[in-house]
Structure 1
Amino acid sequence: MKSQEVGIKPKVNVVLEGDNQMLDEVMVVAYGTAKKSSFTGSASTISNEKLELRPITNLTKGLEGQATGLLTTSGSGQPGEDASIVIRGYGSINASQDPLYVVDGIPFDGSLSSINPSDIESMTVLKDASAGALYGARGANGVVMITTKQGKEGKAQVTWRSTVGWASRAIQPYDMVDQKEFVQLTYEALRNGYVFNSGYSWEQAQQMARAGLSANLGGELYNPFKNYTWDNLINPETGMVQADAVSAWNERWMDAVQRDNAFRQEHQLSVNGGSEKTKYMFSLGYLNEDGILINTGFQRYNARVNVNSNITDWFKANMNASLSNSVQDYSDYDGSSTSNVWYSAQFVSPLFPVYVKGLDGKNVLGEDGKPQLDYGENGRPGSYTDYNPVGGLTDDKSNKKNDVASLRTGVTFGSDKDNFGVFKGIKLNVNFGLDYRNQSRMSYMNMYHGNQATAGGLLTKYNTRMQSYTFNQLLSWNRSFGLHSFDVLAGHEFYAYSYEYLKAGKTNLVDGILELRPGTTLYAADSYTDKYRIESWLGRFNYNYDEKYYFSASLRTDGSSRFHKDHRWGTFWSIGGNWRISKEAFMEDVKWIDNLSLKLSYGQQGNDNILNSDKTSNYYLWQSLYDLDWPNSNQIGGMVSSLENQVVSWEKNGNLNVGVEATFLGSRLSVNAEYYNRKTVDMLLSYPMATSTGFNGYNANVGDMRNSGFEFEIRGTAIRTDDFVWNISWMGSTVKNKVLKLTNTAPEIIKGVYSIKEGMPINTFYMAKSAGVDPATGAQLYWVYDKDENGNIINERISDDYSKASTSKYYQGNRIPDLYGSIGTDFSYKGFDLSVLTSYSIGGKIYDSLYTGSMNAQYATNTWNKHQLRRWQKPGDITDVPRVEINGAYTTTDRFLINASYFAIKNITLGYSLPKDWMRKAKLGNVRVFGSIDNLALFSHLKGMDPQYNFKGETDYSYTPNKTYSFGVEINF
């Protein structure tokens, strides 16, 4: 409520008035600002206070749970990596899903990891066409407006903020079997192979399996049970590992490659101040974050200067500039390669030691008196020969060095003052933005062990250089006449982008010299340059009658160099309205409602940011492309690799938004609810062609898709006294996706375990269906079927024929959750403050390929998940886990589709601000100390699985997210 002053009287009647500060909140929107109460579009604002609660390196990882309709992934836990974001569902099949990032009014092309989150004043997420249509072709997937801190009038204020912390893995490893369980499973897998594949009797198979342990597990050197040999480790009577077998070592590979307490430190210094005419903000930042994987990490230096100057009453100028230098050390391998540490360290046999062992099971020391890493030279079988995950992190080196510069500068002519007469409210803004990024990357694979040992090592160096600039001129006019107010904007914008790529690599290196010149064999040499231009004309009209009825309309036309000159121009538009019902006369007596607004908007946006596996053809879809490096030829020449289609043009996105906003009880309770319907038409797909033409297809605008859903946000103040305040928030969002149209000749696209089919959600799981386990044989059972001449399913039945099952696939759900969002609360009591942020997701499925691999281990050198302990072992067993079998044949089924629901405690922060009278005596402005736990806990349906890894519903052998404990202090002078 508003505070009011009253005179001293015997009797005082006081009528409380609502505090409209929440309604008068000014948001940064496209090409300007807007009051929340007058805004016709859909937007969410995130303050710097929310971002500063979390020890984040990249601002994208601080967005989760902060805005409705915004779905984030955990991505890689590698320090410095971005998280991925989608706003209101999937905008396209082949085009980018990424939103447009705008920094201080200009689209941003630099590295997001170069932005210091402490420099950010606020972020606004624009979600519908009314909010983002002025960005035309680049705003189809939503817009994230980033506003950096500006100077404030007054004497210089100095702020120092330091945090230190320690990180460990946030998601616990999969539960894997121990050494005895592994040997038992390996024995059974060998035995079952002899019985069910080779036709041996049970007794013969048992004997052969016992005899085969040594050859499959690496000889006696790799037998940790030194009181038994491989031949007698299995008790012939029980078929079990001898009960009194004692292991000489039990080294955990994940412990060996990880840090338990990866150190993190961050220090920030900022100065702001200024006069009535000129205001400034200057900041310096330093971050050093060790990764939880040894020899990985991220280091960044930042500097920023923001200056705003009112030179005269009618002339203003501003300049925002930032510099960043960063180095990222990382592991270069991914996927299921043995050289990928996240694969090998998790799934290698627990029998294999980290360090070389003697026949007595003790470490063999090197000349330096230290244990030697075991690379498998002593007969370790399988793909792990000549490789050690710890050695992979210490012997190989990969890093990225980024130099990033960003400049935003502009001038404004005009004034809102009355003495300007007819020119009052007319302004001309001229703005220029420049982004530059130079990245040098090195990947070194050593010459002694691992993938490139036989090639004498491999050194690859990359250099990429990106620069872009935006130049716009904006003419605006805003005036009020009685109850009527309006503002008009017209402008022109030009955007130019350039990207240069260079790669070179050599093998047969000279040890210790990480330069290309000494290498004797050329491995790779590649380069290309991409240039991209957009020219735009734009306009906007906003009207307001009596702060009760609001109307807005915007129009933008873009010409993109990615399309042929006859089809490169696209026109995008939006209209929107906002009715403040609470301002109507019939609402005057409803005192408990502070504000009630109804919003409606519709518009169309475009997308030309098309993805393709061939980097060059991303941007030249309308042209024929020639390949001058085609295989199976020793002659100079070229071949047509891509057919032209000059009529290829924009993907278009129609966006409907209906919203209700309400505040109650003196702004102690606010409720926002919105419905959106987002239809993408003319999606770019490959239109199939007859193979006799020599081409698979050509690019064409043929696909349609829809996303729709609801969003709600409830915020309330449960308790508010002079000393104690308790706030609560709950956000929730839904999204329903449906592919409406593909090509006439191919109404379905199948990629692995995924299907994209007309009438179904994107990336629907398409795989065999499990029918349980045969109690007699332990075989995996499947539902299989035949098809008639019309393609209808007939003769559906249960079978153990995996080959038939691989062609009898079913549609089995997708990753899209039924509901996702966040729940947060914060308390303040005198100088103490406590905040808690949690996130949740309900529904959806994930295909966990990591779990699948550990349940279907095909080789004796790969380990198993503990769920194998409930496997079928003998005729008559009733279980859902089939028999283990070396070199067994399987097909992927829905048995490995895991419920994607989760609940996560994202952050808990406790702070204390020292009493102000203490600070005055110390001549300090404010001192706050705080502690924070980030990514504290995750509750999901499978231990080890990361349900937030990506939007597609898959997992990978990738860097796990981090849990961070941090402590800090912020001092204002």
Structure 2
Amino acid sequence: MQKTAFCGWSARGSNRHFTQTLLVMKLTTLFLTLGFLNVSAKAVSQNVTFSGEEVLLESVFFSVEKQTGYLFLYDNSIKELAKPVSLSVKDVSIEKFLEIVFRSQPLLQFKIGNKTILVSRKPGSDRRPESTGTLNLLKDTLIKVKGYVAGLNNQPLAGATIRIRGKNGTTISDDKGYFEINTTPGSKLVISYIGFHEKELIIKNAEPIRIKLVQKENNIEAVEVKFNTGYQELPQERATGSFSHINNAMLNRAVGGTILERLEGIANGLLFDRSTLAGEDVKGKPEIRVRGLSTIEESLRGPLIVLDNFPYDGDINTINPNDIESITILRDAAAASIWGASAGNGVIVITTKKGKYNQPVRVTFNKNITVFEKPDLFYNQNYLPAPVVMAAQKELFTRGAYTINTQTLLPSYVELLIKQRDGLIDPDDFTKQETIMRNNDLRAQSSQYLYQPGINDQYAIGVNGGGNNHKYVLSAGYDQNRSNVVLDKDSRINVSIQNTFRVNPDLEISGSVWVTKKQEIDNGLSHRDLNFFNNAGFVDIYDRIADEHGMPTAIAKAYRSAYRDNAENIGLLNWQYKPMEDRYLVDNRTVSQDLRLNTNIKYRFFKSLNAELSYQHHTNSSKQVSLYDKTSYYVRNLVNRYTQTNGTKVIPHDAIKMFDGIRELSSHSGRLQLNYRETIAGEHEISALGGVEIRENVSGTQPGTTLYGYNKETWQGIARYDYITRYPVRPTGTAQIPFSTSTDTRIINRFLSYFGNASYTYLQRYSLSGSMRWDGSNLLGVKSNQRGTMLWSLGGSWDLHREHFYDVSWLSYLRLRATVGSAGNIDKSQSHYPTISLGTYAENGLSVATLRHPGNPYLRWEQVNISNWGIDWRILNNRISGSFEYYSKHAKDLLGNNMMGPTTGVTTNYKINYAALRTLGMDIQITSRNTTGEIGWTTTLLLNYSSNKITHFNKPAVSNIADFLTTGRPPVELGKSVDLIYALPWYGLNPLTGQPLIYLNGEVSHDYATYYNSLSKNDILISGVTVPPFTGTIRNNLSWKGLELSAIVAFKTGYVFRRKSMLPGREYSATAALYHMDYFKRWQKPGDELFTQVPAYSPDNINQRWAVYMNSEELITKGDAIRLQDVSVSYSINESIAGKIHAKMIRIYGYARNLGILWRANKHGIDPDFPNADYPAPKSFAIGLQVEF
């Protein structure tokens, strides 16, 4: 028996609101706030007025619903028993009206309760005359089985599916959990419901049955899954495309201030690549890949981010994770093509929390604190102990490698040797200072004075609820984060208000305001800021930033100590640089603001058709301000440099305040959409949508300024200076007064789209889906056939387990899916026609026009054709479930850089459509219920594979071999992967000299320059790929009463990286020394080549010789590793105990991340996730409390 409900269904999608001025923003906020407070909205009238002759009963019901807000529930077969209605009444109560109506309905009865009206047959009215012998035979054979389906706490399950295994016959339970179905004795009845374990029983007779379904132990999966595409919510059972859904419980499993931190390891098909993060930027943004590559250009590789149904162009890290309800990742054409030319790299759809009608006020509070360990500065191997460095510098000094110069910067130890040579230091003092240097390790001092345990402090509160005609959400969040670097910190404030009003049963209006303010303070000094790891500033491992008493000491910076120490004697300011002291004299702040205003109007024409008008206005701005105290090194250095020989100070000795301009982003997005959904005769389900979308993005900058002679008390300074004249500066040369280089610019991009999507499902077994989208932009010319592209998708699924012939008891669920279609990518920096950027110079106010793009009349959108095949299954009474998907992506018209001819005078790169790429891969997900009962244990395996290959390439071949050996991405080659890494062949070490072996014309040679310069493409080797093709995670969840424990083990395999090593000869460079601990593994005597491949020390620095070693296959290292990614533990306090403080739920939780590598293929102790970083991401530990009232 199928129940049909005629009712309005509210949009869980976007809420849009149009505004541009501050006045409108204030009025909007006031309106929404007042709406939030008005929780007792005016009730819909309970009286009915009706007049009509021979009106269908269904039409009468519809009229009552519109006038009263009541909902009618009844079986479709009721229509066959209903009789036309003729009456005329005015302003009568609903009870009286229904009594009058049902006087003319002898076979029907009604019951009112909780704003619903249940219409049913009167007892005995369900018997029908049987007119044929066949019917009489069926009557004798079939029995009518009635039953009740219950779930948790014996609550009725409405919409549970009841089917007869191996035969035709399916029904669903009504709103109270009851059902009826005709079958034969001995048949098997299968009862299923989303989030519950399927149950099977044998029917013996027509006695009523009571069925209780057991909820899945993993609460994360025990809810009905709906995929939000940004345009519609699609039930999992009806989806043909490839989706990865992360619900709220799974998101809250991890603790982190950003959304991306919480997605890693739990989203199937999502890869975070950190191999390009360098230096100390271990918390920087990784490259995110959804199912491998779909483009070549690194700037285009990221997925499209959709927030509340509209693309989000701001910083995803400004979004408060506590406001997020769920995340859906669209991975194939059927899922993502609705987003058209922006969806080629996949789509991440973020849905925020929404209010609910008829829900009491619910208050949720969440507080957590995360502590990060200090980074391990001893992890980096690019150093040598102080005695070794000092010995090398002493040898160079003895050779006369350091030119005696009163201005050029020299290492501190060399300065000490010069004083000893010139008799300027007592021998005892020399020995004392040399001993201090020899025993010092700058890394230890940096760790002690420059770093600290990082602390992230997060607060979040949310209030939501609703009445009959109003629902709302109010949330606020505050994050205060202390960096690992002393004095560096940031904070974020998020506030949002959402209101939805049901004006009448057919009209719903929503509005929301989202405000985020973020402030970053960057006053700290990192180890790399001392120029230690790159040695560019001659700050060596023996230098000190504090003495034995912890007092700040001066280090070398820019000028020789002899020149610097003499500054005050010639009337200049103190020129010493004490980093520990100077960091307190600088104030660098970046402030960003993000505002989203949404509104949505939804009108229902009739039960199956509605229209939505949505609008969003989004603005984002950021500004950076730096204030330098008059005693800071920055100010003193500028004043000294520009002080003229006659003592005139061009730059006043006072504070300097720098405004680095304002960066702004503004967008307007509007959408008109029609939605249609209908179920016909319980067998045919039709869903369709179509509409038009328009979008404008405006980005730009406002010029900055520099205030010299800044007075902190009056906030005044001098902005007008002669920025044109070049002044003599110390120690030599001329220069202009520094000024802000930012300009006043604005870039406008406009987009227009038409879209449509439809799906059809028959008998809950066979589903077909299709979509089309036309995208146009002002970037690609003025003709419609140039600026637009058509993208499409087709998909189908077959629920094989629902077939009447299917009778595989151990494989209770089997579903096949297949999709094909296209998506695209667009580079907003490119244009069909030549474009210029208009701006204003900050230093003189003059207008300037800069060639931004020379134009490309043949420019086309990148297009990605995607096919996907999938199978979903459950075995052993749903104890093990999973999915397997294979995909193929063929991307064409891919963009890449091209240079204009030198005779054109244009030096700007422009991009052309020059390549095609094929990506193949698979995604596997398996979940196993290992134990049930009081102790629950589930295991989930995610396994992904992806590989890519260039299938077309029409740019000239690269002739510079060095480009293939660069640390960045190598040039693209036909038939090869984009992620390849190349290397030179390694022949070992010369047993006589310990130098790298090379061969010229088949003979051993020492002419490294000739060898290296004569290399051809055929001489270099393909050593592997730098991005892992195989990735996966194993997540185990244990539960016992209120205690839950979860851990993720992640693995990556099949890739390599180039590790660093000693550069033979460079450790003895007088101007650019580079060190590495492999120095102690170097060849030192004949026979060592049997145990080491590190070349011998060389007194001369020949670039080609060390390049042969550093670019060799000897340093290509396997990246395979298994790591303990995180552990999560939580305890939910018993509801009876929580109720004593009027709480519905109290949850205490802990979380640990980056816990270490369990196994790695390399033997060098390198974390392959961070091959170019100074250290891996520090471990973190969090504890938190969540309370719901």
Do Structure 1 and Structure 2 share a fold, with TM-score over 0.5? yes
> Residue type of the partner of 2:943?
G
* CA 1:599–1:711: 2 relative to 1, 3 Å: same
Matched, 1:590 2:808: yes
Structure with the higher helix share, 1 or 2: 2
* Residues 158/518 of structure 1: CA separation in 2 closer, same or farther (3 Å cut): same
- In structure 2, what is the equivalent of residue 664 of structure 1? 875
Structure 1 residues 800, 255: closer, same or farther in 2, change over 3 A?
A: farther
Partner residue in 2 for 1:604: 822
Gaps of 5+ in 1: 7-11, 199-211, 234-240, 364-369, 416-422, 611-617, 787-794
d(CA) in 2 for partners of 1:704 and 1:178? 43
Question: How far apart, in 2, do the equivalents of 1:119 and 1:341 lie?
Answer: 42
User: What does residue 305 of structure 1 align with?
Assistant: 497
Q: Which residue of 2 aligns with 1:155?
A: 360
**Is the partner of 2:988 in helix, strand or coil?**
strand
One-letter amino acid of the structure 1 residue matched with residue 1093 of structure 2: D
Identify the residue that residue 325 of structure 1 maps to in structure 2.
Answer: 517
What does 1:418-457 correspond to in 2, within 5 Å? 423-443=606-626, 454-456=637-639
Equivalent residues in 2 for 1:773-922, closer than 5 Å = 773-779=989-995, 781=996, 783=998, 801=1008, 804-805=1011-1012, 808=1015, 809-848=1020-1059, 858=1069, 864-878=1075-1089, 879-885=1092-1098, 888-889=1101-1102, 890-891=1106-1107, 892-894=1110-1112, 895-922=1114-1141
Query: Identity of counterpart residues, as a percentage?
Result: 20
Q: What secondary structure, in the 3-state scheme, does the structure 2 residue paired with 1:771 have?
A: coil
Matched with 1:398 is 588
Distance in 2, Cα, partners of 1:70 & 1:876: 49
Q: Secondary structure at the match of 1:757?
A: coil
The C-alpha deviation readout for 1:923-960, integer Å capped at 9, x for no partner, is: 221111122212222455477855335xxxx6256x96
Tell whether 2:339 aligns with 1:132: no
Q: Say if 1:79 and 1:298, in contact at 8 Å, map to a contact too.
A: no
Q: CA deviation at 1:512?
A: 6.6
User: Residue 240 of structure 2 aligns with which residue?
Assistant: 40
Equivalents in 2 of 1:245, 1:454: separation in Å? 27
Alignment match, 1:928: 1147
2:322 & 2:387 partners in 1: Cα distance? Answer: 53
Output the amino acid matched with 1:968: G
- Offset, 1:777: 2.4
Looking at structure 2, the residues matched to 381 and 935 of structure 1 have their Cα atoms a distance apart, in angstroms, of 47
- In 2, the alpha carbon distance for the partners of 1:896 and 1:451 equals 41
Partner of 2:473: 281
TM-aligned CA deviation for residue 38 of structure 1? 1.3
- 8 Å contact kept, 1:79–1:289: no
The Cα shift of 1:189 comes to 7.7
- Verify the 8 A CA contact 1:771 1:798 in the aligned structure 2: no
Instruction: Say whether 1:464 aligns with 2:464.
Output: no
Asked if 2 retains the 8 angstrom alpha-carbon contact of 1:381 and 1:861, the reply is no
Q: Which amino acid aligns with 2:1028?
A: P
Farther-moved stretch of structure 1 (696-705 vs 182-191):
182-191
TM-score for the superposition, normalised by structure 2: 0.68
Look up the match of 1:168: 373
User: Residue 108 of structure 2 aligns with which residue?
Assistant: none
Describe how 1:195-210 pairs up with structure 2 within 5 A: none
Structure 1 pair 745/919, CA: closer, same or farther in 2 (3 Å)? closer
C-alpha separation in 2, matches of 1:63 and 1:297: 24
Would the aligned equivalents of 2:754 and 2:774 in 1 still touch at CA under 8 Å? yes
CA gap 1:884/1:89 in 2 versus in 1, 3 angstroms = same
Say if 2:680 is the partner of 1:481. yes
Cα distance in 2, alignment partners of residues 919 and 487 from structure 1: 44
The separation in 2 between residues aligned to 1:128 and 1:886, in whole angstroms, is 58
Of 949, 973, 982, the match for 1:757 = 973
CA distance in 2, matches of 1:462, 1:637: 17
Render the CA deviation track for 1:377-422: whole Å, top value 9, x for unaligned: 7967999x9666645754444322111111232121116xxxxxxx
- Match of residue 256 from structure 2: 56
* 2:296 is equivalent to residue 93 of structure 1: yes
Question: What is the rounded CA distance, in whole Å, between the counterparts of 1:64 and 1:409 in structure 2?
Answer: 32
How many Å separate the matches in 2 of 1:517 and 1:428?
58
Seen in structure 2, the aligned counterparts of structure 1 residues 47 and 78 have a Cα distance that, compared at 3 Å, is farther
Write the distance in 2 (CA, Å) between the matches of 1:250 and 1:294: 16
Shift of 1:643: 3.0
Letter in 2 for 1:372: P
CA drift of 1:87 comes to 1.0
| Superimposed CA distance per residue, residues 194-215 of structure 1 (whole angstroms, 9 cap, x where no aligned partner) | 99x99xxxxxxxxxxxxx9952
Q: Which structure would you say has the larger RCO, counting Cα contacts within 8 Å and 6 or more residues apart?
A: 1
Shift of the 884–19 alpha-carbon distance from structure 1 to 2, 3 Å rule, reads farther
CA distance in 1, matches of 2:787, 2:802: 45
Instruction: Quickly say closer, same or farther: Cα 1:511–1:486, change in 2 above 3 A.
Output: same
Once superposed, what is the RMSD of the aligned Cα atoms? 4.3
Deviation for aligned residue 1:279: 1.9
Query: SS where residue 493 of structure 2 aligns?
Result: strand
2: distance between equivalents of 1:802 and 1:349? Answer: 31
The alpha carbon displacement at 1:247 in A equals 3.2
Stretches of structure 2 that go unaligned for 5 or more consecutive residues are 1-148, 155-176, 178-185, 196-220, 402-410, 565-574, 640-655, 722-736
Cα drift, residue 425 of structure 1: 0.4
Q: Which residue of structure 1 lines up, in the alignment, with residue 552 of structure 2?
A: 372
Is residue 485–residue 525 contact of structure 2 (8 Å, CA) maintained in 1? no
TM-score by length of 1: 0.82
Decide whether the 8 Å contact of 1:57 with 1:80 is kept in 2.
no
| Residues 750-780 of structure 1, C-alpha deviations (whole Å, 9 max, x = no match) | 473423212211143234344333343232x
Partner Cα distance (2:456, 2:1086) in 1? 55
Distance 1:543 1:189 in 2: 78
Match of 2:199 in 1: none
- Inter-partner Cα distance in structure 2 for 1:194 and 1:764: 45
Decide whether the 8 Å contact of 1:294 with 1:393 is kept in 2: no
What CA distance in whole angstroms lies between the structure 2 residues aligned with 1:908 and 1:546? 43
Secondary structure of 2:704's partner? Answer: strand
* In structure 1, distance between residues paired with 2:1062 and 2:464: 52
Distance 1:312 1:636, change over 3 A: closer
- Letter of the 1:914 counterpart: I
Residue 804 of structure 1, CA deviation: 2.5
Cα distance, 1:850–1:414 mapped onto 2, change above 3 Å? farther
1:13 Cα deviation from its structure 2 partner: 12
Whether the aligned pair in 2 keeps the contact of 1:317 and 1:412 (CA below 8 Å) is yes
Higher mean alpha-carbon deviation, 764-773 vs 312-321, is at 764-773
- For residues 414-464 of structure 1, the C-alpha deviation after alignment (integer angstroms, 9 at most, x for no partner) is 16xxxxxxx430110111112111211134677877788643478351211
- CA 1:382/1:35 → structure 2, altered by over 3 Å: closer, same or farther? farther
Question: Hey, what does 1:736 align to over in structure 2?
Answer: 947
Q: Decide whether the 8 Å contact of 1:912 with 1:929 is kept in 2.
A: yes
Aligned with 1:133: secondary structure?
A: helix
What is the aligned partner in structure 1 of residue 308 from structure 2?
Answer: 104
CA 14–91 in structure 1, closer or farther in 2 if over 3 Å, else same: closer
Q: Which amino acid aligns with 2:322?
A: S
Distance, in Å, in 1 between the alignment partners of 2:398 and 2:866 is 61
The answer to whether structure 1 residue 144 and structure 2 residue 348 are counterparts is yes
Matches within 5 A, 1:511-522: 517=718, 520=721, 521-522=737-738
1:411 — aligned with what? 601
- Change in Cα spacing, 1:69 to 1:447, as seen in structure 2 (3 Å) is farther
Change (3 A) 1:684 1:184: closer
**Structure-1 separation of matches of 2:670 and 2:947:** 38
**How far has the Cα of 1:660 moved from its partner?**
1.3
Cα distance in 2 for partners of 1:948, 1:191 equals 38
Alpha-carbon offset, residue 263 of structure 1: 2.4
Cα deviation, residue 69, structure 1: 1.7
> Which residue of 1 is the match for residue 210 of structure 2?
none
Q: Is the 8 A contact 1:2 1:17 kept in 2?
A: no
Q: Deviations over 1:47-94 (max 9, x none)?
A: 222222322111112211122221114569879964442212222223
Greater shift in the superposed pair: 94-103 or 553-562 = 94-103
- Give the Cα–Cα distance (whole angstroms) in 1 for the partners of residues 1101 and 628 of structure 2: 34
